[in-house]
Amino acid sequence: MDFRDILKDLVKRVDGAKAAVLMGYDGISIDEYKREGTDIDIQLIGIEYSGIIKEMKRTSEVLEGGDVAEVSVITGNGIVVIRAVSDDYFIMINLDIDGNLGKARYLMKMSVPKLKEQL
């Protein structure tokens, strides 16, 4: 399974998932997968959130909270879930507002070892 297959598997298995991306905290993506017919700009969303996650990592350090493992954000019209893969990379998935957040979190966690193997 290459990166795209893992991202595709995630998107296909989570109800309401629109797209997923594997990206560096520097905002440069390695790979992405979008569900057919989705016009979401997952790159742009990833870039915007990568800055926030970097800030969170800094905050967690200040607070001695340990590494940031996962972040979920629910906005007025969607859900974003981010999971750290390594010190340099994270995966992000974008769901409809009524998407299955629990399953997304579970499957993302499960996918980390597979992604790590190939980084």
- Binding-site ranges for its own copies (CB under 8 A): 44-45, 48-49, 51-52, 55-56, 59-60, 62-63, 65-78, 102
CB of 112 to its own copies, least distance (A): 13
Q: Toward its own copies, which CB reaches closer, 24 or 78?
A: 78
Q: Toward its own copies, which CB reaches closer, 9 or 43?
A: 43
CA distance 33 to 7: 6
What strands lie across the sheet with 29-34, from one edge to the other?
A: 29-34, 17-24, 89-95, 78-84
Residue at token pair 């979008």 = 34
CB of 71 to its own copies, least distance (A): 5
Q: Toward its own copies, which CB reaches closer, 8 or 34?
A: 34
CA distance 66 to 60: 6
CB of 77 to its own copies, least distance (A): 4
Residue 91 host element (H or E): strand 89-95
